[in-house]
């Protein structure tokens, strides 16, 4: 897996990701303490509102930025977004009112919504070989999991020596180091579309490609499964450990560490698994595992007490399933769009996946408070299995990269027909300006004609 770090450009980008994640982890801890300083007992409400604002920024900003990202120099754009995030983080220690938290968090997360999809869409161009890209995806997953484990520990160690306000300084340093590392390498420029299109076409292009591609419609359903299971862990672990089991604060970190450990284990094993199995054969069973584990734990706790050991084992399996669905996502996006459309498509995935979290975060919190943990486990387990069922239906088992199709409405001298030798031909199929609809295979195995025109 570490072989991909031999690529200098990717090595610097990966280091930038890790350092920025560490800074973001410190920001999370510091923000919680700042909310408590300003709001006291209402700190949970403040953090919940800030989290909702974060998701709104992700959902609203990412598609717009993704539409124009390939028109800008990638390196300059990424460095600019890191500098904007550093500048906003620098202002956070000076906040004196709760509303100021909301404003700065929106601006910070809007910059992240611009940075992250563009960064993700750059990696396939840096690592064009699919095996290398798969290993990069696993490393990225490991980075996220390590951040969730190590950042709280680092913050706790720092807080023994400094005030929490100084943790924001760590966030600033993280973003500045990320900017410097990105600036230190040459990035392949995004391929620009040859067509001049309007603002509506640009801003909705990624979403339209996403929703017209069967495998990506299945991925959207899997996003719901991941968000339902993940929200149960993120929102209700502290409720279970502190409120139900009456255990100390350190055990919250232990439980979350088990989830992160399961996710890391899956990320380490996935490159070899994906060398042998198709993405669908890995992601769908993993989503089913999430639902089954939640329902099994709900059944085990129904009418009885929740066991500490059972909670830890459950969280490990949820971490495994979570990572096994999440990690291959970039492979699906990469094969589902041409190079010039990747920034818009990665932005669409970023927005749609976070829209699922925007639904499941408050659902997990409200259910946990109103109906109790066992019922919440069961209901979120059913939501997870609903996502699995929709994905199995929307994502065809027969999902070849190259598909036979026809263009009866194109003139015979059209460059596309000359390149592929006739109206009916076969090539790697993606939704674009010449392929507006996914071909539907007739009973005899032929493809129904694909209309030409704008996507």
Question: So what's the pLDDT on residue 445?
Answer: 43
Residue 203 lies in a domain: no
Report whether 142 contacts 267 (CB < 8 A). Answer: yes
Would the pLDDT of 115 be above 50?
Answer: yes
Residue 149 lies in a domain: yes
Q: Which of 20-24, 38-42, 105-109 has the lowest mean pLDDT?
A: 38-42
DSSP type of residue 318: H
From the list 378, 141, 373, the residue with the least C-alpha distance to 238 is 373
424 and 438 part of one domain? yes
Residue 82 lies in a domain: yes
Residue 326 lies in a domain: yes
Q: Count how many domains the chain has.
A: 3
129 and 24 part of one domain? yes
377 and 405 part of one domain? no
Give me the CATH number covering residue 216. 1.20.1250.20
183 and 332 part of one domain? no
The average pLDDT across 448-452 equals 49
Residue 435 lies in a domain: yes
Range of the domain at 11: 1-134+143-190
Report whether 358 contacts 55 (CB < 8 A). Answer: yes
Instruction: Indicate the SS3 state at residue 435.
Output: strand
- 331: its two tokens: 């492979």
* Confidence label for 420 from pLDDT (cuts 50, 70 and 90): confident
Where does a domain end: 376, 399, 422?
399
160 and 100 part of one domain? yes
Residue 419 lies in a domain: yes
369 and 441 part of one domain? no
The average pLDDT across 238-267 equals 82
Report whether 94 contacts 57 (CB < 8 A). Answer: no
- CA dist 262 and 324 (Å) reads 10
116 and 84 part of one domain? yes
356 and 447 part of one domain? no
264 and 128 part of one domain? no
Residue 423 lies in a domain: yes
120 and 229 part of one domain? no
* Confidence label for 43 from pLDDT (cuts 50, 70 and 90): low
290 and 404 part of one domain? no
27 and 119 part of one domain? yes
Q: Which helix (H) or strand (E) holds 219?
A: helix 214-238
Residue 201 lies in a domain: no
For residues 77 and 382, the model is more confident at: 382
Report whether 244 contacts 373 (CB < 8 A). Answer: yes
For 194, list phi and psi in degrees, rounded to 5.
Answer: -80, -15
Where does a domain end: 355, 371, 399?
399
For residues 42 and 255, the model is more confident at: 255
Q: Which of 180-189, 393-402, 443-452 has the lowest mean pLDDT?
A: 443-452
């Amino acid at each position: 897996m570490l072989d991909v770090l031999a690529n200098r450009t990717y090595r610097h980008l990966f280091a930038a990701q890790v350092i920025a994640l560490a800074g973001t982890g410190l920001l999370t801890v510091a923000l919680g303490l700042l909310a408590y300083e300003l709001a006291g007992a209402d700190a949970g409400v403040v953090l919940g509102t800030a989290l909702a604002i974060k998701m709104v920024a992700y959902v609203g900003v990412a598609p717009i930025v993704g539409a124009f990202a390939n028109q800008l120099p990638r390196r300059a754009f990424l460095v600019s977004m890191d500098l904007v995030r550093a500048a906003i983080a620098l202002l956070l220690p000076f906040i004196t009112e709760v509303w100021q938290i909301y404003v700065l968090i929106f601006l910070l997360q809007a910059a992240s919504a611009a940075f992250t999809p563009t960064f993700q869409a750059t990696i396939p161009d840096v690592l064009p070989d699919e095996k290398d890209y798969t290993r990069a995806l696993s490393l990225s997953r490991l980075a996220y999991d390590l951040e969730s484990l190590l950042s709280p520990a680092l913050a706790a160690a720092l807080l023994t020596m400094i005030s929490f306000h100084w943790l924001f300084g760590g966030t600033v340093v993280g973003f500045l180091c990320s900017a410097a590392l990105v600036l230190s390498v040459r990035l392949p420029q995004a391929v620009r579309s040859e067509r001049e299109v309007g603002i509506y076409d640009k801003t909705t292009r990624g979403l339209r490609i996403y929703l017209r591609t069967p495998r990506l419609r299945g991925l959207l359903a899997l996003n719901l499964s991941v968000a339902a299971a993940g929200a149960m862990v993120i929102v209700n672990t502290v409720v279970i450990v502190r409120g139900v089991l009456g255990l100390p604060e350190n055990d919250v970190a232990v439980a979350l560490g088990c989830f992160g450990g399961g996710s890391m284990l899956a990320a380490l094993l996935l490159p070899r698994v994906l060398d042998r199995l198709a993405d669908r054969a890995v992601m769908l069973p993993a989503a089913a595992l999430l639902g089954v584990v939640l329902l099994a734990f709900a059944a085990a706790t129904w009418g009885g007490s929740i066991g500490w050991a059972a909670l830890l084992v459950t969280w490990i399996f949820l971490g495994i399933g979570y990572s096994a669905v999440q990690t291959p996502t970039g492979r699906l996006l990469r094969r589902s769009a041409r190079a010039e459309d990747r920034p818009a498509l990665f932005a669409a995935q970023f927005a749609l996946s976070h829209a699922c979290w925007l639904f499941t975060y408050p659902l997990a919190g409200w259910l946990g408070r109103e109906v109790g943990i066992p019922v919440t486990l069961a209901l979120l387990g059913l939501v997870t299995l609903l996502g699995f069922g929709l994905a199995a239906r929307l994502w065809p088992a027969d999902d070849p990269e190259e598909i036979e199709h026809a263009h009866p409405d194109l003139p015979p001298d059209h460059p596309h027909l000359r390149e592929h030798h006739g109206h009916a031909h076969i090539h790697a199929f993606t939704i674009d300006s010449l392929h507006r609809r996914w071909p539907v295979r007739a009973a005899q195995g032929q493809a129904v004609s694909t209309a030409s025109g704008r996507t």
